Structure 1
Amino acid sequence: MLRTVLFLAWLVVAQGPLLAQDRSAVESRFQLWLETTVWPRAQAAGVSRPTFDAALAGVDLDWNLPDLVPPGAPSQTPPQQQQAEFASPAAYFRPEAVEATVTAGRRMAERHEATLTAVEQATGVPGRIILAIWGRESAYGRADLTHDAFEVLATKGFMSTRAGYFSDELVAALRVAEAGFAPVDGLRSSWAGALGQPQFMPSSVLTYATDGDGDGRIDIWGSEADTLASIGTYLARHGWVAGRDWGFEVMVPPSVSCALEGPDQGRRIAEWEAMGIRRVSGRPFPEAERPQAGYLMMPAGRHGPAFLVTPNFYVLKDYNTSDLYALFVGHVSDRIAFGTAGFAEGWDEMGGLLRSDIADLQRALADRGYDVGGVDGLPGYRTRRSIGHWQEAAGRRPTCFPEPGLLP
């Protein structure tokens, strides 16, 4: 009887986009999707019916999540958002937030010295890097996770801009519950469905979560040792190069174009040095680094600090795709371990641009033949250097960063 009612509701929704926007009809279609699409996939992945029912009992759509596209609605354009990653990189490095993460990280370094040493020996990943990620992701386990993981993943798997990805993660979360990693009725997450102190997506829990305290079980929710070992395992499995740093803050002379940025324009650090790039500390680059590949990274173009980064920087980006995230981790890790100060170069305040404004700029550049890496409203390195190339072609001083009124 229930399936009949749900099927009839689906038929009503299927009549057209306008009807599909009725929330009660969409909710009915959602419940049908859980039963007829998600359950067969979960069952095939080894999830039992009791686990499935316990995880999804009472789960409704969370209409407050971002990037939702209800059935029948037009695809979304980049939203009107004004976040640090989109407009003002300085906001990502608020001094009080950085200092709090560093201070707590130093305490954690002392508390977990033995575990961090063991993890570094096993993975090659420095303990300071692991600590910085832990601090950024969950404030060393102190952050509250306020969302029901199954509700988040089910909602976004049913109606979001990345529905296929989140559908896969929903099935992975059910497998996490089936494996007994965490109580089904207490699986809390971020708004994106990330779990535990390392903030792993469910598929990463299944792949990288590690028993760091030797008790025979994996617990990235309650065990700090398991959390540290899991972060180290993740980075090692994504290609962390043992013995190399993540990068160095540098001074880039005007003779070196900011459009040389990017992981596909690498050259030996000694070559960058020959072009006039120097460490802001005044110290020479380590001899072991000079013959190795380095990459120019200028997250604010000429409006902020510049860096020569190593392949390990891009391993950090595998954890979170934001340049600023990876830079935060590297910077905080240095301050935890070495007591270094803040960036030598300040960040210009670059307010006034929405994500949709940057998308318009990307579209204009793409129409002129530039490779911006996609029209998504995110000023990644391809967008930044395309801005620089366009500025150079137009006879302007290249700044390599989106600014109001940059293109007509």
Structure 2
Amino acid sequence: MPRLALRPFLSLLALVLMPTFAQAGPYDAQFRRFLETEIAPAARTAGVPQSVVTRELSGLTPDTSLPGLGRPDAPEAAPSVNYQSEFRAPARYFRDSQFNALVAQGRRLAKQHAATLARIERETGVPGRIVLAIWARESGYGGAKIPKDALRTLATRAFMGQRRDLFREETVAALQILAEGHISRARMKSSWGGAMGQPQFLPSSFLRHAVDYDGDGRRDIWTSVPDTLASIAHYLKWYGWVAKRDWGYEAVIPQSVSCTNEGPDRGRPISEWVAAGVSRVKDRPFPAHEVPQPGFLLMPAGRYGPAFIATDNFYVLKSYNESDVYALFVGHLADRYGNNTGFVQDWTPIRTRSRGAVRKIQLELEAKGHDVGGADGLIGFKTRRSLGAAQEKAGRKATCWLE
């Protein structure tokens, strides 16, 4: 470089670099030590080459804009806000306008990918309509914006989020994916929670369940529709999807059947539910092949909304997302690809509370000997039936919901 040009160049370089130094975050140095002492050694132990570790971790900074973070030097605190819609009041989750749009697009895609979906169902036993419904829920059939740098997001959560041990493992798994060459770092996008691509897999799920279904030698859940659909089905098969069984049936639950009977640990043959007075809506019979099979009472809003007799496959759907209403959404959307009608029973407006307030109630129930499934601020089936049991003990009608 000519000597006379050197000074202007250095001045320009200083202007370019100055914002970088000025914008350094308060945790950058601590984050760098975390990567060097915890993530890098674990990645090398998992077989990630040092060249990949160096390439991907160099210059990485925490994304402190993510929701649900705490201080890296403080214990993990229980979240006080419900960031995910799956854990709020169910009614808003089942708007007809949303289903109508998803059904119309899903029917078109079912025709477009009919051969692929049929092959997947033959190989896994998972119906194409279930695969389509998960694809819809997770990424709007691949149309949703998934903007985050997956590695940065995962490493930030491992450093200063909740469930840090989990996300340390997921950060290492993300480095393994990059080392295997399935996707470039620039294209490895995730949600703010670290779930990647169209099926929204965490990296460990990708390593275990993602498949190359279009034969190009890469497991690409970001841009390949065949890889995406087959990966979803293989995930469900691995978690125990029972071929030729449905996910569940909307049912009328008489007052003589307490809502405290809800849950996957309180199942009984569907024939016994029928003998107790449970019936399908619209006076339709349960399918003959289902009657001797186990069924499970499902009341996601207690007595304030539709009720169901679920099958084992409902709980396979929950392996994708622990929320009852998530699994119900998937099953309901899958049904509506055929007959686009909503639930027969209505959602009654119900009281909701912050996650912190729910956790306080759970702690009170635990102090009285109830098993709420952990005081996490989420109203799962154990919390619902504990609320119902407390209501019955107090001589009140059990609603299995917050009062």
Whole-Å Cα distance in 1 between the matches of residues 347 and 309 of structure 2? 17
- Say whether residues 1:391 and 2:391 are aligned partners: yes
Question: Which 4+ runs in 1 deviate beyond 6 A?
Answer: none
**Equivalent residue for 1:125?**
126
- Say whether residues 1:381 and 2:381 are aligned partners: yes
**Equivalent residue for 2:247?**
246
Q: Residues 153 and 220 of structure 1: is their aligned pair in 2 closer, same or farther, counting only changes over 3 Å?
A: same
**Equivalent residue for 1:307?**
308
- The aligned runs of 1:257-268 (5 Å cut-off) are 257-268=258-269
Matched residue of 1:122: which SS? helix
Deviation string, structure 1 residues 157-194 (Cα, Å, up to 9, x no partner): 11222000000000000011111111123311001111
- 2:153 is aligned with what amino acid? V
**Equivalent residue for 2:357?**
357
- The aligned runs of 1:180-219 (5 Å cut-off) are 180-219=181-220
Whole-Å Cα distance in 1 between the matches of residues 136 and 340 of structure 2? 17
- Say whether residues 1:330 and 2:358 are aligned partners: no
Whole-Å Cα distance in 2 between the matches of residues 82 and 319 of structure 1? 17
Whole-Å Cα distance in 1 between the matches of residues 221 and 25 of structure 2? 37
Whole-Å Cα distance in 1 between the matches of residues 249 and 140 of structure 2? 25
Deviation string, structure 1 residues 230-276 (Cα, Å, up to 9, x no partner): 11100001100111110000000111101100000000001001111
Q: Residues 187 and 332 of structure 1: is their aligned pair in 2 closer, same or farther, counting only changes over 3 Å?
A: same
Greater shift, 68-77 or 214-223, is seen at 68-77
- 2:345 is aligned with what amino acid? E
Q: Is the 8 A contact 2:81 2:355 kept in 1?
A: yes
Q: Is the 8 A contact 2:76 2:161 kept in 1?
A: no
Whole-Å Cα distance in 2 between the matches of residues 209 and 386 of structure 1? 38
Q: Is the 8 A contact 1:246 1:312 kept in 2?
A: yes
Whole-Å Cα distance in 2 between the matches of residues 51 and 384 of structure 1? 47
**Equivalent residue for 1:233?**
234
TM-superposed deviation, 1:56? 2.6
Whole-Å Cα distance in 2 between the matches of residues 233 and 77 of structure 1? 33
- The aligned runs of 1:149-164 (5 Å cut-off) are 149-164=150-165
Greater shift, 177-186 or 115-124, is seen at 177-186
TM-superposed deviation, 1:64? 2.0
**Equivalent residue for 1:346?**
346
- 2:402 is aligned with what amino acid? P
Q: Residues 25 and 78 of structure 1: is their aligned pair in 2 closer, same or farther, counting only changes over 3 Å?
A: closer
Deviation string, structure 1 residues 324-364 (Cα, Å, up to 9, x no partner): 1000000000111x214101111112244111111111111
TM-score w.r.t. length of structure 2: 0.91
- The aligned runs of 1:13-28 (5 Å cut-off) are 24=25, 26-28=27-29
Which structure is larger by alpha-carbon Rg, 1 or 2? Answer: 2
- 1:349 is aligned with what amino acid? P
- The aligned runs of 1:95-110 (5 Å cut-off) are 95-110=96-111
Greater shift, 103-112 or 124-133, is seen at 103-112
Identity of aligned residues (%): 52
Q: Is the 8 A contact 1:87 1:350 kept in 2?
A: no
TM-score w.r.t. length of structure 1: 0.90
- 1:262 is aligned with what amino acid? G
**Equivalent residue for 2:296?**
295
TM-superposed deviation, 1:86? 4.0
Whole-Å Cα distance in 1 between the matches of residues 140 and 236 of structure 2? 19
Whole-Å Cα distance in 2 between the matches of residues 216 and 30 of structure 1? 35
**Structure 2: stretches of 5+ with no match in the other structure:** 1-23
Deviation string, structure 1 residues 37-60 (Cα, Å, up to 9, x no partner): 211111122212332233233321
Matched residue of 1:97: which SS? helix
Whole-Å Cα distance in 1 between the matches of residues 209 and 159 of structure 2? 26
**Equivalent residue for 1:370?**
370
Q: Is the 8 A contact 1:295 1:308 kept in 2?
A: yes
How many matched pairs? Answer: 380
- The aligned runs of 1:7-156 (5 Å cut-off) are 24=25, 26-81=27-82, 84-156=85-157
